[in-house]
Amino acid sequence: MAQQYYQKEIETMSAEEMRKLQSEKLVKQVKHVYDNVPYYRNLMDEKGVRPEDIHGIEDLHKLPFLSKADLRDAYPYGLLAKPLEDCVRIQSTSGTTGRRVVAFYTQKDIDLWEDCCARAIMAAGGTKADVCQVAYGYGLFTGGPGLNGGSHRVGCLTLPMSSGNTERQIQFMMDLKASILCCTPSYAAYIGETLKEQGYGPDDIPLKAGIFGAEPWTEEMRRGIEETLGIKAYDIYGLTETSGPGVAFECSEQTGMHINEDHFYAEIIDPETGEVLPEGSKGELVFTSLDKEAFPLLRYRTRDICVLSRKKCSCGRTLVKMAKPMGRTDDMLIIRGVNVFPSQIETVLLNEGYQPNYQIVVDRVKNTDTFEVNVEMPPEKFTDKVSDILTMEKSLANALKAMLGINPAVHLVAPKTIARSEGKAVRVVDKRKLV
């Protein structure tokens, strides 16, 4: 099928033209922020940078960073760059890693955000002939409203389901022949599992594509969802601080997500030193909003760890690509001194034939970290014979040790005993923080 673009001119623009566009926008944006956001003006003054020093993208590195701590300090209005009467919406983070952050939008900001989501839907093969089921949460969380807006822009028949009520999701999907499903990957896996239990195979399900994001997920999980639902599953990335989902989206090549870099300029930095790293290096992703009006964050540190690439993409888009972020700097667990990302554990589980239904429990007993991984036995592996369970636990523990370098205590639990998620899954219970 021929590639479809929502905004072809931008999505396939040459690198030189894109940089020129970004530079023009940046110069204006820095002035807008300096004039209207005393909080950031102070940071710039402290660093001795003035708007006149910024002539283009090449000067971006001179600007100070913003972090989640700044957002909390400035809560709620301290980073607002437009009068409240010009704002039409607020959204808020899901609070995965602590207190919530609120973000403000003018109508232009909403338009820009919805355009980004429309680009994502069209890159996943969506057209006005599609029925798009949006099963991300609606409300303060950006998932539902963002994809809903994008779906309207493409002209899809939009089913604003929100998350939850899985029986009803399935009924609408089947009765109204939904062709695109948008939700978190953990909810997609749950919907898939429920469909399977109800006897539906991939050929019975009307879906052709899924747009899944808002949380980390592995390639193994992608393959599982694609097989169960009989679809192509596309990744989508975003965060409330920059608008919401649609900051980056996957195309048919499925090798990373194109960043909507006409709106969000991406840098990769060394999280320890703040130094900007060259293309291809792994580090912390930093975004600068080039044209948002109400909540325009400059050099915002996402804490997401990933890699950027400008390799030519077969879809024809020239937008820079980011690898799937495999965890945040603050997702990383340090257990007995070893760095552990939940995504590593998920990869091992799926490779060993388990489902992504697991929970990691970390605690500290007598000054030593304990590390447990509770995993559901898939129905087809289910047994209640103690010696078999012990053998399976041992073999999984060995596979995890090989990946992580430390030994977890693996507990296999009965199918369906780990809570399913309709939004972002809770993978880690770190009891050490409670002390």
Rounded Cα–Cα distance for residues 343 and 335 (Å): 15
Buried b (16+ CB within 10 A) or exposed e, 355-365: bbbbbbbbeee
The rounded distance, in Å, linking the Cα atoms of 371 and 376 is: 17
CA–CA separation, 301 vs 297, rounded Å? 10
Q: Considering CB distances under 5 to 8 angstroms, the limit depending on partner class, which of ligand ADP, Zn ion, none binds residue 239?
A: ligand ADP
- Selected binder of Zn ion within 159, 239, 251, 377 (CB under 5 A): 251
Please list the residues that pair with 248 across neighbouring strands: 237, 259
**By the rule CB under 6 A, 240 interacts with ligand ADP:** yes
Stretch that binds Zn ion, among 103-111, 187-195, 252-260, 269-277 (CB under 5 A): 252-260
Q: Which two tokens stand for residue 148?
A: 């809903």
The minimum distance between CB 358 and ligand ADP, in angstroms, equals 17
Should residue 25 be labelled a site residue for Zn ion when binding is judged by CB under 5 A? no
Applying CB under 6 A, the span of 88-96, 224-232, 358-366, 392-400 interacting with ligand ADP comes to 88-96
Q: Residue 86 class from Cβ within 10 Å (0-12 exposed, 13-18 middle, 19+ buried)?
A: middle
Instruction: Identify the residue whose tokens are 């983070």.
Output: 93
* CB closer to ligand ADP, 38 vs 95: 95
Residue type, 227: E
**Which partner from the list Zn ion, ligand ADP, none does 215 bind, CB cut-off 5 to 8 Å by kind?**
ligand ADP
Q: Looking only at residues 250 through 279 of this chain, which bind ligand ADP when binding is defined by CB under 6 A?
A: none
294-323: contacts with ligand ADP (CB under 6 A): 302, 304
Residue from 81, 118, 131, 214 in contact with ligand ADP (CB under 6 A): 214
Q: List, in order, residues 6 or more apart from 251 with CB less than 8 Å away.
A: 3, 123, 234, 258, 313, 315, 317
Establish if 237 lies at the interface with ligand ADP (CB under 6 A).
yes
Nearer to Zn ion, 134 or 251 (CB): 251
Amino acid at 402: A
119 is an interface residue for Zn ion by CB under 5 A? no
Nearer to ligand ADP, 169 or 302 (CB): 302
94 binds, among ligand ADP, Zn ion, none (CB under 5 to 8 A by kind): ligand ADP
Q: Are 118 and 128 in contact (CB under 8 A)?
A: no
From residue 207 to residue 246, the character string flagging contacts with Zn ion as x (rule: CB under 5 A) and all else as - is: ----------------------------------------
Q: Is 235 in the site for ligand ADP (CB under 6 A)?
A: yes
**Distance between terminal CA atoms of the chain?**
56
**CB nearer to ligand ADP: pick between 34 and 234:** 234
| Binding partner of residue 237 among Zn ion, ligand ADP, none, CB cut-off 5 to 8 Å per kind | ligand ADP
Q: Which of 189-197, 230-238, 292-300, 371-379 is the region at the interface with ligand ADP (rule: CB under 6 A)? A: 230-238
The 259-298 site mask, x for binding Zn ion (CB under 5 A), equals: ----------------------------------------
- How many beta carbons lie within 10 A of that of residue 2, not counting itself? 4
Q: Which residues of 215-248 are buried (b: 16+ CB within 10 A; e: fewer)?
A: bbbbebbbebbbebbbbbbbbbbbbbbbbbbbbb
336 sits in the region (left: phi over 0; alpha: psi -120 to 50; else beta) called left
- 104: contact with ligand ADP by CB under 6 A: no
Segment contacting ligand ADP (CB under 6 A): 6-14, 128-136, 211-219, 390-398?
A: 211-219
In whole angstroms, the minimum distance from the beta carbon of 207 to Zn ion comes to: 22
Q: Which stretch binds ligand ADP (CB under 6 A): 75-83, 90-98, 363-371, 383-391?
A: 90-98
Q: Which lies closer to ligand ADP via its Cβ, residue 126 or residue 238?
A: 238
Closest to 302 measured CA to CA, from 260, 268, 351:
268
Separation CA 185–CA 435 (nearest Å): 32
β-sheet bridge partners, residue 285: 268
> Which range binds Zn ion by CB under 5 A, 106-114, 204-212, 278-286, 308-316?
308-316
Cβ 207 to ligand ADP shortest distance, Å: 19
Q: Which residues bind ligand ADP (CB under 6 A)?
A: 93-97, 213-216, 235-240, 302, 304, 324-325, 328
Q: Which residues bind Zn ion (CB under 5 A)?
A: 251, 253, 313, 315, 317
